Amino acid sequence: MNALMIMVTVAVFLLAMGALGLAAWISIRVQHLQRRLATQETELLSLKGALSAICSDDMVTDQRQVEMEQRLRLLADQQEQLLMRDPETGPYHHALRLAAQGASREDLVKNCGLSRGEAELLLSLNRPSGDAGG
């Protein structure tokens, strides 16, 4: 019976040592996984910050684009107003060219924004010399 007791004791001892070894390995593995988790959480926070910065920059870019479009429209309107004031390129110059090409009063009113009186005056002043009728 002594030999059986020794064999059982040795078997229990070996099982206990195996269990302790397994517990130690599991503990080391858990610590390793906890460190990886902490690293990944830090990286995730960093990525969230970077994404937030990108979104913020994108919003600023969109806002600047809207401002530039508004400025461009304003400049285009200002340029159009200046062209309308310039006798060399404004509506009267264009109307004179059309009148010389034989445009009617309605064409001048429609295409140049002239009143009927302005169109009549322009046509009477710029009528070809051979055209005596009205």
What is the per-residue pLDDT for 134?
A: 47
- CA 99 vs CA 1, 19, 116, 130: distances in Å: 133, 108, 14, 14
Higher pLDDT, 129 or 48: 48
Model pTM? 0.41
Whether residue 86 has pLDDT greater than 60: yes
Per-residue pLDDT at 64 exceeds 50:
yes
Distances (CA, A) of 126 to 20, 48, 68, 105, 121: 113, 72, 43, 12, 8
The pLDDT assigned to 47 comes to: 94
Q: What per-residue confidence (pLDDT) applies to 88?
A: 62
